[in-house]
Amino acid sequence: MCDTFVALSDVTADGQVIFGKNSDRPIFDCQPLRFTPRTTGQAGRPIQLEHVTPP
């Protein structure tokens, strides 16, 4: 399991975006981050996440 959080600029004191993530991986196990440019979904169609499909 892992935990991920984000605080957007409208809720931070100085307008910065804060992103945090932790993981149960071993201490020296690499966990690369990947940047994916934003996309626009189609109205009425669900998005597929890794383990769930939110409504």
pLDDT tens, 7-30?
A: 999 999 999 998 888 777 787 887
Most confident segment among 11-15, 32-36, 47-51? 11-15
**pLDDT level of residue 1 (50, 70, 90 thresholds):** low
pLDDT of residue 41: 77
Nearest in space to 54 (alpha carbons), one of 41, 35, 38: 41
